[in-house]
Structure 1
Amino acid sequence: MAWAEKLKLKKGLVRALTEAGFNGPTEIQQKTLSRIAGGQDIIAIGPNGCGKTTTYIMGALSRFTYAADGVTRVLILVPDREAVEAVIERFNQLNTNKSIRLVGLYPAPGTEAQMDDMAEGADIVVATPDRARAIYLKLGLNLNTVELLVIDDADLIVKQGLQLPVNELAASIQKGQHLVFTEVMHDKLDRMISTFMRQPATIEVEEIGEPAFDTIDQLLYHVPNFGTKLNLLRLFMQDEELFTKTIVFVNTRPTAEKLYKTLQNRNNNIVAIFSPWFFEWTGFSSVEDFMADETVRTLIVVNEDVGELPLQDVPFLLHFELPADVETYVTRVKSDAHKPDAETMALTFVTDLELNGVRKIEQATGHKIQVGDLPEDLVIEKERKKLSEEEKEAKTQTEEPERGAAFHEKKAKNSKNYNYSSGEKAKMTKKKKYG
């Protein structure tokens, strides 16, 4: 579909889009550009490569009908310096109004050069949240004139813990339109943007594509935090009949040590480390030795310490953490990497901050990963937060907590709507032949 058939864009912008190789709008552009032109707040959710960046660039450029005046009307927040430079490069590729001045703000030694850059005038500012806040506090960025606030890769901004500067900047913009672009939506992100979004339209597209190859069965368990992951792992490993042999993948040695000590204490020496770094620990130097040992059911593997492993006969591959390299995960779940009659299943534990990694895996494989219901008896760990001085003072003035009060709580949605021991276990009884 050509641009002119669906969207009312300036001829110069359409020409620049065509010259850049964008011959027509993507799905997310068809669904959002008219709403952006209408001034509505938008939450746009889509995978990498679906056209999110080009979408808000078109929306921003369309605001400048005449010569720009050097007053900041558009503020775009992105996660890091590389993203700042990439967005500015795309602007330069599509912008035909040469009076528009763009300025990039990102962490660098000192702020003087960027302050000077802003003093010369900036129509569009592309910045990391922390540096934009720093320049704003030094009176180098006037937010009173901002008409459009864009938060790109919002899930990565949350992952970096930059919610506070985002909220402070958004609160300082008196009137304006807000656009949020992200690969995934989750509770932490919703808490960040809910304070300033005004009746937003949520638009989601999924462009996974055709399956590139077959995979083994996969289940995804979405939990709130590391502590709940640990509780879920303990719960699964208590089922000796089902989880006869399991390889647990983690990203770092400290995490491997924590899991090893926890499972060993709870499960009576049924856990081992792959190529252990302490001689007193139970360990194996090969997957074959682990599979041959009838006394050990769980092998912990650190992703960074290994290459490709022979996993053909292992009943369960459990990713406690997603590997940094998507291809590492993909290689493990390809069905042709396993024996034709093997019944291997991949289980993956993720928190909100790891969901974008899941989306990248789904794009790479062409398969959506089925989400598993959490067991009814799983203990959900509460988030531990640092208290402000005022909160600490208020806390000391309240009643003493009841002795023996539990720190844990059950997840509300798990109230009798799922039973792992009957439901999920029934699905996977075929695994018992590995006992």
Structure 2
Amino acid sequence: MAVFDKLKLNKQLIRSATELGYTTPKEIQQKTLTRIIGGQDIIAIAPEGSGKTTTYVLGTLNRFNYAPEGVPKVLILVPEKEDVLAVIELFDRLNKNKSISIVGLYVTPGTEAQLDALADGADIVVATPDRARAIYLKLGLNLNKMELLIIDDADRMIKKGMQLPIAELANSITKAQHLVFTDVMHSRLEKMIAPFMKLPATIEIEALDETSHLTTHQQLLYNVPNFATKLNLLNLFMYDEEVFTKSLVFVNNSATAEKVFQSLNRRMHDAVGYLNPKFFDVKGFKSADEFKADTEARVMLVVNENNETIELNGIPFLIHFDLPQDKDQYISRVINTNTGADDETLALTFATDLELSEVKKIEQATGNKMELSTLPDDLVIVNDPKSRTEPAKKPAKVTEPETGAAFHEKKAANSKTYNFSSGQKAKMNKKKKHG
């Protein structure tokens, strides 16, 4: 059994950890602490509750084997005020060297108190990126002697649009070790950290809950850049009338449902409708059984916010255009209750980079990973002019496919090596007999 004294921590810190019940290091600590202490840049990818915060707090405190100078040597960036306070609390619990000064920076009326705290001397600064940048620009935060930059919950900060202050702070530090902790890694995060990471070691902890392994339908994940590309992908699938005979499409709200309906309705007409629509001038169904009995209908839109119970047996495709806010709502749909029969239902999930953390939470809860599927070769990838990690580009005039010449060959950078396998395609084709 691994113990903390094997991880190059100083004896005082080991005693503090042991007193708090940290007798056996978690997997992420076993795989990262010696590298952190050795000075290597680290990208640690692990789910919530895996011990990421404790890992970098231990690694940070281990640096202070001397009398602190009162000049910031460590900057820890976290998403919100509550995170700042939680990290400082953990430092207080583990730190026996009370000469170490820790200052928190977060958005609050006025900056005078935080500027005064920094002026009195700070060895470790825990901050939200926006407040740290604001105080740095006021010349209140000294980055000249910074030795360690830690970015925690990096995926959450991407969601909150904090790329710019993080990049500015990182670029203002001339030489330091960099640690990035995140639930998931994706292209937006990679673009943010690539300029300042130096040959980082990437360490990923899966941590699926095998004790709650659920029997689910086969789940396929399509990672797309934005909403418009989701629409293109859905339309592309619906072009295949032989395979996509009956599909439920789940969206989070009525506004999204209307956009999806209008996009599909241009070509599919009476083949697409709503479950219990709010208006009488659109095609609707009172139940999944009514949808299955309609020989013309191929797509039924379901709004997640209505939280309706649906009988899903016999529906070939369950397509989550959006992931519901409650992961249990998703899980209830993909559980396979027909374990004694051949399962011919596929659950397809469309997720942007910003939704991948929700995918991770679902995978942890079910004990199953979603199979990452390559995007079809003839899918139009729409450039996202709103992306904060690259210069704005003029949006394409046509973001939805049109009959006849809807899809063009993708650029080499977007090309993929496979779509559905021949065996999977054959399995999917059996669904033609539905209804």
- Please report the TM-score for the alignment, with normalisation by the length of structure 2: 0.90
In the alignment, the residues of structure 1 paired with residue 106 and residue 234 of structure 2 have an alpha-carbon distance, to the nearest angstrom, of 40
Q: Give the structure 2 partner of residue 430 of structure 1.
A: 430
Distance in structure 2 (CA, Å) of the matches to 1:144 and 1:307: 57
Cα gap change, 1:391 to 1:193, in 2 (>3 Å): closer
Instruction: Report the equivalent of 1:279.
Output: 280
Alpha-carbon separation, structure 1, partners of 2:98 and 2:195: 35
> Alignment partner of 1:144: what SS?
coil
Q: Distance in 2 between matches of 1:63 and 1:433?
A: 66
Distance 1:416 1:170 in 2: 34
1:316-351 deviation line (CA, Å, top 9, x unaligned): 110011111111111111113888555321000111
After TM superposition, the structure 1 stretch with the greater mean CA deviation from structure 2, 18-27 or 50-59, is 18-27
Report the 3-state secondary structure (helix = DSSP H, G, I; strand = E; otherwise coil) of the residue aligned with 2:22. Answer: coil
User: What is the aligned partner in structure 1 of residue 349 from structure 2?
Assistant: 348
Question: What amino acid is the match of 2:131?
Answer: R
- State the identity %: 61
1:416–1:366 CA distance, 2 compared to 1 (3 A): closer
Q: Distance in 1 between matches of 2:144 and 2:301?
A: 54
- 1:106 maps to 2:97: no
The residue that corresponds to 1:399 in the other structure is none
**Corresponding residue for 1:199?**
199
2:346 maps to amino acid: M
Structure 2: runs of 5+ lacking an equivalent: 395-405
Tell me the TM-score normalized by structure 1. 0.90
- Equivalent in the alignment of 1:171: 171
2:33 pairs with 1:33: yes
Q: Distance in 2 between matches of 1:267 and 1:313?
A: 22
Name the CA shift for 1:409/1:99 in 2 (closer, same or farther; >3 Å): farther
Gaps of 5+ in 1: 396-405
- 1:88, 1:235 → 2: CA distance? 50
**Distance in structure 2 (CA, Å) of the matches to 1:337 and 1:274:** 24
| Amino acid of the structure 2 residue aligned with 1:276 | P
Higher mean C-alpha deviation, range 118-127 or range 253-262: 118-127
Instruction: Give the direction of change, closer, same or farther, for the CA distance of 1:287–1:85 in structure 2 (3 Å limit).
Output: farther
Are the aligned partners of 1:331 and 1:337 in contact in 2 as well (CA < 8 Å)? Answer: no
Give the 3-state SS of the residue equivalent to 1:336 in structure 2.
coil
**Who is 1:401 aligned against?**
none
Partner of 2:400: none
Deviation of 1:148 (Å):
0.6
Indicate whether 1:366 and 2:367 are aligned. Answer: yes
Amino acid at match of 1:429: N
Task: Determine if contact 2:5/2:11 at 8 Å carries over to the other structure.
Answer: no
Letter in 1 for 2:348: L
Q: Judge which range, 416-425 or 93-102, deviates more.
A: 416-425
CA distance in 2, matches of 1:124, 1:416: 45
Partner of 2:255: 254
User: What is residue 133 of structure 2 aligned with on the other side?
Assistant: 133
Alignment of 1:237-386 (within 5 A): 237-336=238-337, 340=341, 343-385=344-386
Residues 279-320 of structure 1: CA deviation (Å, up to 9, x unaligned): 322222332322232222111112112243222232211001
Contact residue 221 and residue 373 of structure 1 kept, 8 A? yes
Q: Which moved more, 1:111-120 or 1:236-245?
A: 111-120
2:398 alignment partner in structure 1: none
User: Are the structure 2 counterparts of residues 120 and 339 from structure 1 closer, same or farther at C-alpha, using a change threshold of 3 Å?
Assistant: farther
CA distance in 1, matches of 2:200, 2:303: 42
CA offsets 1:372-400 (integer angstroms, 9 cap, x no match): 2222211111222589xx999xx9xxxxx
| Pair 198,146 (structure 1): closer, same or farther in 2 beyond 3 Å | same
Whichever residue aligns with residue 175 of structure 1, its letter is K
Return the letter of the residue paired with 1:138: K
The separation in 1 between residues aligned to 2:226 and 2:286, in whole angstroms, is 31
After superposition, the CA RMSD in angstroms is 2.6
Quick check: 81-90 or 378-387, which moved more?
378-387
Q: What's the secondary structure of 1:181's corresponding residue?
A: strand
Letter in 1 for 2:182: T
Partner of residue 232, structure 1: 233
- In structure 2, relative to structure 1, the CA distance for the partners of 1:373 and 1:426 (3 Å cut) is farther
> Which SS does the other structure have where 2:75 is aligned?
strand
Q: Distance in 1 between matches of 2:32 and 2:421?
A: 45
Q: 1:187 to 1:414 in 2, by over 3 A?
A: closer
Change (3 A) 1:289 1:410: same
User: Per-residue deviation at 1:220?
Assistant: 0.8
Q: Match of 1:178, as an amino acid?
A: H
1:142 maps to: 142
Q: Partner of 1:379: helix, strand, or coil?
A: coil
* Distance apart, 1:12 and its partner CA: 2.3
Alpha-carbon contact 1:312-1:339 (below 8 Å) kept = no
Deviates more, 1:111-120 or 1:421-430: 421-430
- Residue 432 of structure 2 aligns to a residue in which SS? helix
- How far 1:254 sits from its partner (Å)? 1.6
Segment drifting more, 76-85 vs 53-62:
76-85
Per the alignment, residue 398 of structure 1 pairs with none
Cα separation, partners in 2 of 1:408 and 1:146, compared to 1, 3 Å = farther
* 8 Å Cα contact 2:217/2:343 also seen in 1: no
Distance, in Å, in 1 between the alignment partners of 2:407 and 2:338 is: 43
Is this contact kept in 2: 1:252–1:302, CA < 8 A?
yes
Query: Are the equivalent residues in 1 in contact too, given 2:291–2:297 (CA < 8 A)?
Result: yes
Runs of 4 or more off by more than 4 Å in structure 1? Answer: 337-342, 406-409, 413-416, 419-424
Q: Which amino acid aligns with 2:91?
A: F
* Deviation for aligned residue 1:422: 5.3
Deviation sequence 1:414-434 (CA, Å, 0-9, x none)? 758435595642232232221
Q: Which residue of structure 1 lines up, in the alignment, with residue 401 of structure 2?
A: none
Amino acid at match of 1:427: K
Rounded to whole Å, the distance in 2 between the matches of 1:136 and 1:64 is: 24
3-state secondary structure, aligned to 1:180? strand
Q: CA deviation at 1:253?
A: 1.8
The superposition leaves residues 195-225 of structure 1 with CA deviations (integer Å, 9 ceiling, x where unpaired) of 1111211222221131522111111111222
Mark the CA change 1:64 to 1:257 in structure 2 (over 3 Å): closer, same or farther.
Answer: same
**Aligned with 1:203: secondary structure?**
strand
Task: Please identify, of 423-432 and 81-90, the stretch whose mean Cα deviation from structure 2 is larger.
Answer: 423-432
Distance 1:407 1:108 in 2: 50
